[in-house]
A and B are shown apart, each in its own frame.
Chain A
């Protein structure tokens, strides 16, 4: 452990960059989730957790219905003013380190609800790590958001992030097919139309 670097004066004593990296690596593949599912976005959440999209590939599939055992709070759907104290309390009960995903437009900013009953974005109540826009977001977007969060965890980055739209590559069919093969490193069979 020659390159163990001690950063003095930290709140929790001794920490090293190597240890941080190791912890980040371990944490990002073992996200225990607490699903706070309140509205229609829950359907896409179920689709993401189902076998086709299979969130288990990312080590984030195990739901824990106790906030004390979970690291990742998924806020899925509209949060009403009446629910806000419950959400806040659940967030406070989670142990550090903890992360929050804001799933869908309603959770992120209130969505099309601009009224007396809806919280205009959960970041008015609790800090958020990744915002996934969409009404509801497709499972692919959710997985992108999850990967973004994982990379943030690995990098030790605590700033909030918005999932941005991916720009679709342009070109002829052959070019796109080639691009696809390159990106997948030839690991997947050529997609054929059935």
Chain B
């Protein structure tokens, strides 16, 4: 893929483009969070970029990363349907201050992506009009896709039934009724 988008971004934002790379034809630019919103707007409105199609907005957690650099990578993928090129921009967000500008009004589809990132990683998007959890429920404490959240720790909304209840399931291999329905009279099934 052409380096055009990366070059355009570098020309426009200069030092705010911290890194660029290309992996098997996919261009990636790591941006300073300060220009996050401006970059999204630029990619959409600039004539030679023309990225009119929102692909994805999500986040990756690197728990071992130095948090002054930013532990979470929020990324946005956009695509141009007539110029046929695609770019991924990333911003590093720290755990201490997990905040980033919203791009939900620039790419409308991003607004649910931002809600998901908020739900799963706890990154807050400044200026998002309706930043609520989208998959989990309001009562859920913590952010399940952070690597330090124990993956199997459920927070049930309904209290589990206790084992003294009469109808709790049998779980051993030889428990339960036999399949052959021994107590059944075959007449019951005659038509």
Contact = CB atoms under 8 A, between A and B. Distances in A.
A125 B160 contact: yes
B139 to A, nearest CB: 10
Contacts of A85: 157-158
Given A116-B153, A123-B168, A150-B188, A161 B158 contact: no
Contacts of B154: 81, 115-120
Contacts of A119: 154, 156
Interface in B14-54: none
A157 interface: yes
A160 B136 contact: no
Contacts of B164: none
Interface stretch (A35-43, A61-69, A126-134): A126-134
A121 B144 contact: no
B181 A148 contact: yes
B168 A127 contact: yes
A60 interface: no
Contacts of A88: 158
A154 B161 contact: no
| Chain A: number of interface residues, binned into ranges | 35 or more
Q: Taking each of B151, B154, B155, which has the highest tally of chain A beta carbons within 10 Å of its own beta carbon?
A: B154
B169 A108 contact: yes
Contacts of B184: 151, 154-155
Contacts of A162: 169-170, 175-177
A151 B188 contact: yes
Contact of A164 (B149, B176, B188): B176
Nearest to B137: A82
B183 A129 contact: no
Q: Taking each of A82, A123, A162, which has the highest tally of chain B beta carbons within 10 Å of its own beta carbon?
A: A162
Interface in B157-185: 157-158, 160-161, 165-171, 175-179, 181, 183-185
Nearest to A88: B158
Q: Taking each of A108, A116, A124, which has the highest tally of chain B beta carbons within 10 Å of its own beta carbon?
A: A116
A5 B114 CA distance: 68
A84 interface: yes
A82 B157 contact: yes
Contacts of A108: 169
Nearest to A123: B169
A138 interface: no
B176 A160 contact: yes
A127 B177 contact: no
Contacts of A12: none
A18 interface: no
B157 A84 contact: yes
Interface string A23-53: 0010010000000000000000000000000
A114 B165 CA distance: 24
A192 interface: no
Interface of A: 25, 28, 81-82, 84-85, 88, 108-109, 114-121, 123-129, 131, 144, 147-148, 150-152, 154-155, 157-166
Given A81-B155, A82-B135, A147-B181, 6 more contacts: A28-B188, A117-B144, A118-B154, A119-B154, A120-B154, A128-B167
Interface of B: 135-137, 144, 149-158, 160-161, 165-171, 175-179, 181, 183-185, 188-189
15 contacts: A28-B188, A81-B155, A81-B156, A82-B137, A114-B152, A116-B144, A116-B152, A124-B156, A128-B167, A147-B181, A151-B188, A159-B176, A163-B179, A164-B176, A164-B179
